[in-house]
Chain A
């Protein structure tokens, strides 16, 4: 059997099955279908949009009734004030460093482990995989006190590696990449490579990873989003304003009573912009990524 990789599939995250699913859909579209969906979409979009409206007008827009829905022209002025009030540039850079390293780490390490679980046979594999799935249900957040003690022993309190290192690889990501690798890479292809004398690392790096790169990229994006938005752990472990991530910086901005509401909203919106830009470009892939990671019947 010829084992060529279907080129279409490289850009399409869905495993091959959905191709036959064009005639999906059970419920007929009715008059209220769009009404329900439009209301839900509006509820999702409005808070973010309104944050921009207030950021672009000033605090008076927050208290104006009936609510103002048209953006103004003060966004850049307010931003300048934000940068003068808190060391925001530093915080944004910190967030970028942390989120980017976690994104790269997850895309690579989860693919590698997912490859081992999907395509290699080794003693204890199934037991290890069961453990991996079970770790997803461990409520690790309530162990923050010992986690802090460990960081303090390592001398990592108030450093960025305290945020990066624990997030470099995740059970969810490994589970997810295993699904993708099982669904998109045929055993025959790997066998052919093995016959040519390639070892497992070469097979991963030259064959498996290039094929699942789109899926790994979406995993990286989700990792970036989660790391960028993380609050509790940075809040515990970061002490000095120079080390703050953007989320901690806007918390400092919001709880400063002398800071005006428009300013706080502008800071909050600024922190959201990188994610909105990312979402505009890759939102569709993120949606199908989340749906592919889901249980299917």
Chain B
């Protein structure tokens, strides 16, 4: 069967010869109409605002619309602004503390969930997706309470073990840990399911052959599992980079809704700093400069991560 693939026709399907010319033209345009809504919305609410951020960053711009061109002045101020460097440090710290354990936990759990003859498999999968369907706003209050200095469950437990109470939100390290715990809680199950889906597609014969050749579970993990999961690992690493570096809601809500995330800005992330400048101090230009800087950082880090994670499990 040799169907001619003309524009606007169904794949492998000859257009009915009876169609009239007008109808034919509509049929040719139809697929563009079907995909158009996405591209229109993305242009208006995604790409254009992103490009416009670069433009606004060159101005002193307030919400009423008064603007003065200042060139790269906003970026010079940004480079000298200790609040920016502080936010950058916090962002990276929270991103690393939350991403690395999250993906390792997910990898281990996916391996365990992939066990042969596992009972209650559906229950475990559903349980792990539960955090994903709850909102940050609703669960932030629970986490704040569990980690509370005086009456928190965790500090009660630490006391039982003979440790001192920890005031998590008052220090940089503590607040970063608390924020990361919440991020890990929300996302590890989701990533587990992605890894599990990939694991199930690995042919079992590979493992059987490896076992025959005398490869133990650890060797199998590094020589079969990890290389097979490479595409999904690259995907999750890139996605948690893009998401993690833009983190906003967790630090905001765990610090009672303060844009500085604590009096000493101990957990203010770049997104919070952007928001504070743009919508707290109404400096649209300076806030956009933060956005541009964050964009550049995300592009570089995502690219480096892509290079690193695509080497995973590849020998030599």
A→B interface (CB under 8 Å): 18, 21, 23-30, 33-34, 36-37, 40-41, 43-45, 47-48, 50-51, 54, 62-63, 65-67, 109, 112-113, 115-117, 119-123, 125, 128, 131-132, 135, 137-150, 152, 165-166, 168-171, 174, 187, 190-191, 194-195, 197, 199-201, 203-204, 225, 228-229, 231-232, 236, 247-248, 250-251, 254-255, 261, 264-265, 268-269, 271-272, 275-276, 278-279, 283-284, 286-287, 290-292, 294-297
CA gap between A65 and B137 in the complex, in Å: 25
Q: Which residues of A contact B126 (CB under 8 A)?
A: 279, 283-284, 287
How many Å lie between the Cα of A17 and that of B292 in the bound state? 44
Of B69-77, B78-86, B95-103, B142-150, the one contacting chain A is B142-150
Q: Are B134 and A194 neighbours in the complex by a CB distance under 8 Å?
A: no
Minimal Cβ-Cβ distance residue in A for B225:
A26
Q: B178 to nearest A CB, angstroms? A: 13
The 8 closest A-B pairs by CB, nearest first: A25-B116, A146-B49, A63-B151, A229-B135, A143-B49, A41-B127, A296-B201, A294-B197
Q: How far is the CA of A266 from the CA of B17 in the complex (A)?
A: 65
Closest to B207 in A: A26
B139 lies within 8 A of A128 (CB): no
In this complex, the member of A149, A201, A255 whose beta carbon has the largest number of chain B beta carbons within 10 angstroms is: A149
* Residue in B closest to A199 when the chains form the complex, CB atoms: B27
| A37, A113, A148, A168 interface centre (most CB from chain B within 10 Å) | A37
Known: A120-B30, A121-B8, A195-B16. 8 other contacts (CB 8 A): A47-B185, A123-B7, A138-B46, A138-B50, A140-B49, A144-B278, A191-B14, A231-B136
Take A24-B200, A187-B11, A200-B10 as given contacts and tell me if A294 and B34 are in contact as well, using a CB distance cutoff of 8 Å. Answer: no
Specify the chain B residue showing the minimal Cβ separation from A140. B46
B271 within 8 A of A: yes
Q: Is B183 an interface residue (CB 8 A)?
A: no
Chain B contacts to A: CB under 8 angstroms: 3, 5-16, 18-19, 23, 26-28, 30-32, 34-35, 37-39, 41-42, 44-50, 52-53, 56, 63, 105, 108-109, 111-120, 122-143, 145-146, 148, 150-151, 153, 156, 185, 189-190, 193-194, 196-198, 200-202, 204, 207, 217, 220, 228, 231-232, 235, 238, 242, 245-246, 248-249, 253, 256-257, 271, 274-275, 278-279, 284, 287-288, 291, 294-295, 298, 302
CA distance A223 to B146 in the complex (A): 30
In the complex, chain A residues whose CB is within 8 Å of the CB of B52: 143, 146, 149
Closest to A66 in B: B156
B135 & A41 in contact (Cβ 8 Å cutoff):
no
Q: B41, B56, B146: which contacts A168 (Cβ < 8 A)?
A: B41
Q: Name the CB-closest residue of A to B150.
A: A63
Contact A139 B295 (CB under 8 A): yes
CB nearest neighbor in B for A142: B291
Contact in complex: A194, B278 (CB < 8 Å): no
Task: List 9 A-B pairs, Cβ < 8 Å.
Answer: A115-B34, A120-B9, A142-B246, A231-B249, A250-B141, A284-B122, A290-B193, A294-B198, A297-B201
A62 to B141, CA, bound (A): 11
Contact A45 B9 (CB under 8 A): no
Q: Which of A34, A140, A291 contacts B197 (CB 8 A)?
A: A291
Check A201/B30 contact, CB under 8 A, given A187-B13, A283-B129, A295-B198: yes
Q: Is the CB of B117 within 8 A of A296?
A: no
A25 pairs with B30, CB closer than 8 A: no
A251 lies within 8 A of B137 (CB) = yes
Contacts of B16 in A (CB 8 A): 194-195, 197
Q: Is the pair B217, A291 in contact by a Cβ cutoff of 8 Å? A: no
Contact residues in B for A231 (Cβ distance below 8 Å):
135-137, 249, 253
Cross-chain contact B135 with A297 (CB below 8 angstroms): no
Expressed in whole angstroms, the minimum distance between the Cβ of B167 and any Cβ of chain A is 16
Cβ-defined contact, B31 with A125, below 8 A? yes
CB neighbours of A199 from chain B (8 A): 19, 23, 26-27, 30
Report the minimal beta-carbon distance from A142 to chain B, rounded to whole angstroms: 4
Verify B44–A150 contact, CB threshold 8 A: yes
A residues in contact with B271, CB < 8 Å:
141-142
Among B44, B190, B302, max chain A CB count under 10 A is at B44
CB <8 Å contact, A200 and B27: yes
Chain A residues whose C-beta falls within 8 Å of the C-beta of B109 in the assembled complex: 36-37, 40
The answer to whether A261 touches B145, judged by C-beta atoms less than 8 angstroms apart, is yes
Contact A140 B50 (CB under 8 A): yes
| Contact B142 A51, beta carbon cutoff 8 Å | yes
Contact of A122 with B31 in the complex, beta carbons under 8 Å: yes
A150-B116 contact, Cβ under 8 Å, with A265-B141, A292-B197: no
Roughly how many angstroms separate A127 CA and B232 CA in the complex, as a whole number?
Answer: 23
Which chain A residues lie closer than 8 Å to B142 at the CB level? 47-48, 50-51, 265, 268
Q: Are B118 and A41 in contact (CB under 8 A)?
A: no
Residues of A within 8 A of B115 (CB): 25-30, 33
Q: Are A287 and B193 in contact (CB under 8 A)?
A: yes
B311 to chain A, nearest CB (A): 17
Indicate the member of A36, A43, A142 with the most B CB atoms within 10 Å.
Answer: A142
Question: In the complex, what residues of B have CB within 8 A of residue A297's CB?
Answer: 198, 201-202, 228, 231
In the complex with contacts A26-B207, A115-B34, A120-B31, A143-B156 CB distance below 8 A:
no
Determine if B193 and A291 form an interchain contact, defined as CB atoms under 8 angstroms apart: yes
